[in-house]
Amino acid sequence: MQEVEKIVNGKDLFQRPEYQEVLEGKKQFESSYGATNPEKVSEVAEWTKSWEYREKNLAREALTVNPAKACQPLGAVMAALGFENTMPYVHGSHGCVAYFRSYFTRHFKEPTPCVSDSMTEDAAVFGGLANMKDGLKNCKAIYNPDMIAVSTTCMAEVIGDDLNAFITAAREESEGLLPESMPIPYAHTPSFVGSHITGYDNMMHSFLSQVGEQGTKTNKINIIPGFETYIGSLREVKKIAAAFGDDCVMIGDHSDQWDMPAGDYQMFSGGTTIAELKDAPNAKATISLQKYTTKKTMKLTKKWKQEKLELNPIGLKGTDEFVMALSELTGKEVPAELKIARGRFVDAMQDSYPYMHGKKFAIWGDPDFLLGMVSFLIEMGAEPTHVLCHNAPSGWEEEMRALLDTCPAKADCHVWAGKDLWAMRSLLFTEPVDFMIGNVYGKELMRDTGIPIIYIGFPIFDRHHLHRYSISGYEGGLNLLTWITNKILDKLDEDTKQIAKTDYFFDAVR
């Protein structure tokens, strides 16, 4: 029973003898092997750690277990929230939208506005035109966005709804609520093609191609961040760009949307303005910071006769390339502040390198994130033993292999394209590493294998505020270095804290 002076929640409550007795008693009715045959559980648990199991596990052709990817409309919602006063609108079932909003909200600890037009069974039969007509009108009437960005769920895609025709019809019947002057870009984002990064790409392409207006060429440089979940990274990229003057415009800047100050609530905050979006085709260059996330979008540079640059400012080399590209594009010397920032980052790398050097890492995430992160690990002398990308687009595996070949330990570095995190579990048991880098889905891998996890990626539901930091640029590199080094030191302390056994190495100075 609870003690009034020391009320505990389930963590401690259920450890008490009276609850342990309840849980033990429950077993007599249970059918799980843990209740009926615990030895069998131990036996199978051991077997799942074996090479034999790994071979069966990696030979899977149909089944996905514990994926490390999500579906297209999620990315479309992120793309939409990068524009000022823009409502993401998902044509399809509202259940999907409840999921997208929960998913982002659990990660950012911020509200995520997004509507759907709540298609149900009758819409599946007759199409979702009526839903679109009512939905756009209601959305505009009560939330008053300046732009509505329409994407689709798999339901609408399977029945083949014609977005263009539907939106035109909705405008006509809106009694002036949805004038032609109000942009309603739309993208088909079927969940059964690609992943969330494909959805980002499709929606971003639609913003630029449907709202962008070709006119007089400008000196502007577009920067498209991609499916970037680090708010601090967006801000640091803008800061670096601003050091070269005011020519750079971030296209799709959701940094303020998912980082609103306390005190008042506004549904929308910040974002690229519609005027900036309209002018984007006239820029002299477009830089993508995530090339595999903007494959389709970046094709527009050809049509618009823009210089096309694909850069990835995670780690030292990636940031150097980004900075030099901006220098070249703007014709300006690298400013002193960036030279100092680089120097500080390199100084920190040289202070901390002994701890990362030679350490084996397993890492998973989106393709562009991995290219940047693996580059950084190699720069620090670490060994990226297992690099897993569930949503690897074509070409990625080869590029990652080439990158790993620059690592002295290349023979022990493996690329796993299209594999899921249950496959990773086998890899970790058979070819263990010192640390994992990944998202919340690594938590169970950490529990099962005992390998510590460093939370970098998306989504991260169970650690707070990491997304507020940068992982890009020199300062972002410093954050990565700090997180990784200190986790290694935490582990070293854990390993050496046994009194009178190992604590001679429990050093006060590291």
Return the active site residues.
Answer: 154, 158
Cβ-based nearer residue to another protein, 20 or 482: 20
Q: Which stretch binds another protein (CB under 8 A): 23-31, 201-209, 290-298, 499-507?
A: 23-31
- DSSP structure class, residue 46: H
Element (H, E) at 223: strand 221-224
- Contact status: 2 vs another protein (CB under 8 A): yes
**Distance separating alpha carbons of residues 198 and 393, to the nearest angstrom:** 9
Binding to another protein in span 352-391, by CB under 8 A: none
Please check whether residue 140 is in contact with residue 148, taking contact to mean a CB–CB distance below 8 angstroms: yes
Which of 94, 278, 308, 491 forms a contact with another protein (CB under 8 A)? 94
Cβ-based nearer residue to another protein, 302 or 464: 464
Cβ-based nearer residue to another protein, 31 or 181: 31
The CA-CA-CA angle for residues 320, 326, 328, to 5°, reads 100
Shortest spacing between CB 162 and another protein, in angstroms: 17
Shortest spacing between CB 215 and another protein, in angstroms: 33
Count of chain residues binding another protein (CB under 8 A)? 111
Binding to another protein in span 433-492, by CB under 8 A: 440-441, 444, 448, 461
Shortest spacing between CB 191 and another protein, in angstroms: 4
Query: By C-alpha distance, which of 200, 223, 226, 238 is closest to 476?
Result: 238
Q: Which stretch binds another protein (CB under 8 A): 111-119, 409-417, 463-471, 473-481?
A: 111-119
Binding string to another protein for residues 122 to 151, with x set by CB under 8 A, is what?
-xx------xx-xxxxxx-xxx--------
Which of 76, 79, 81, 114 forms a contact with another protein (CB under 8 A)? 114
Q: Tell me the two tokens of residue 44.
A: 């199978």
Residue listed under structure tokens 């801000």: 235
Shortest spacing between CB 300 and another protein, in angstroms: 24
Cβ-based nearer residue to another protein, 88 or 212: 88
**Distance separating alpha carbons of residues 189 and 151, to the nearest angstrom:** 6
Binding to another protein in span 155-184, by CB under 8 A: 155, 158-159, 177
**Distance separating alpha carbons of residues 98 and 103, to the nearest angstrom:** 9
- Contact status: 509 vs another protein (CB under 8 A): no
- Contact status: 394 vs another protein (CB under 8 A): no
**Distance separating alpha carbons of residues 191 and 152, to the nearest angstrom:** 9
Taken as a whole, the chain contains a residue count of 510
The CA-CA-CA angle for residues 484, 488, 318, to 5°, reads 25
Cβ-based nearer residue to another protein, 2 or 406: 2
Q: Which stretch binds another protein (CB under 8 A): 99-107, 226-234, 365-373, 399-407?
A: 99-107
User: In b/e form, how buried is each residue of 146-168, taking b as 16+ CB within 10 angstroms?
Assistant: bbbbbbbbbbbbeeebebeebbe
Cβ-based nearer residue to another protein, 422 or 474: 422
- Contact status: 263 vs another protein (CB under 8 A): yes
User: In b/e form, how buried is each residue of 184-201, taking b as 16+ CB within 10 angstroms?
Assistant: bbbbbbbbeebbbbbbbb
- Contact status: 153 vs another protein (CB under 8 A): yes
Binding to another protein in span 57-86, by CB under 8 A: 57, 60-67, 69-74
- Contact status: 113 vs another protein (CB under 8 A): yes
Binding to another protein in span 402-431, by CB under 8 A: 422, 425
Residue listed under structure tokens 């940047």: 372
Compute the half-sphere exposure of residue 266: CA atoms within 13 Å on the CB side of its CA. 14
Cβ-based nearer residue to another protein, 180 or 264: 264
Q: What backbone torsions phi and psi does residue 214 show, to the nearest 5 degrees?
A: -70, 130
- Contact status: 89 vs another protein (CB under 8 A): yes
In which order are the strands placed within the sheet that holds 285-288? 248-250, 221-224, 285-288, 307-310
Which of 169, 182, 193, 492 forms a contact with another protein (CB under 8 A)? 193
- DSSP structure class, residue 468: G
Residue listed under structure tokens 């998912």: 258
Binding to another protein in span 24-53, by CB under 8 A: 25-26, 29-35, 40-41, 44-45, 48, 53
Shortest spacing between CB 218 and another protein, in angstroms: 36
Please check whether residue 194 is in contact with residue 160, taking contact to mean a CB–CB distance below 8 angstroms: no
**Distance separating alpha carbons of residues 129 and 171, to the nearest angstrom:** 12
